[in-house]
Amino acid sequence: MSDSIQKYNNKGLSRFEYIPHFTPSNAESNGLDPKKIIAILLRYKWLVLLFLIAGGVGAWFYADHIEPVYESRGLLMISSNGDL
C-alpha cells in the first residue's frame, strides 16, 4: 500500500529532489531538552553502565597486551671523591 501511495503522490517532483521522511511533531523545539536526555539516560542506566564497564575493560585489556614502542636503559656512576 505504501508503494502505491508514494508512487502516485509525487508527480511534480524531479528525480533528485529531497523529500524529508521525518518531520518533528513539535515545530517549536529548536534543540535538545536536557531533562529529556537525563530521563533517557536514567531509563537505560544499566545499559549505559554495562557499556562503560565493557569499554573500560576493553581499554585495559588492549593497553595491557600491546608492545611498548620504545625502551630505554641507563647507567649511573657514583664516585666517592669529595670534589663537588
Average pLDDT for the chain: 79
**Residue 55 in domain:** yes
Q: Is residue 22 part of a domain?
A: no
The dihedral built from the CA positions of residue 49, 51, 55 and 61, taken in this order, carries a sign that is positive
Report yes or no: 19 and 10 within 8 Å, Cβ to Cβ. Answer: yes
How many structural domains are present in the chain? 1
Whether 73 is in a domain gets the answer: no
In the numeric block, the cell 517532483 is attached to: 13
Question: With a threshold of 0.85, does the pTM exceed it?
Answer: no
Domain region containing 52: 32-67
With respect to residue 23, please indicate whether it lies within any of the assigned structural domains.
no
Say what the pLDDT of residue 79 is: 81
**Which range is most confident: 5-14, 19-28, 62-71?**
62-71
Q: Which of the four pLDDT bands, split at 50, 70 and 90, describes residue 31? A: confident
Report yes or no on 74 lying in a domain. no
pLDDT value at 55 more than 70: yes
Q: How many CB atoms lie within 10 A of CB 11?
A: 6
Residue 57 lies in a domain: yes
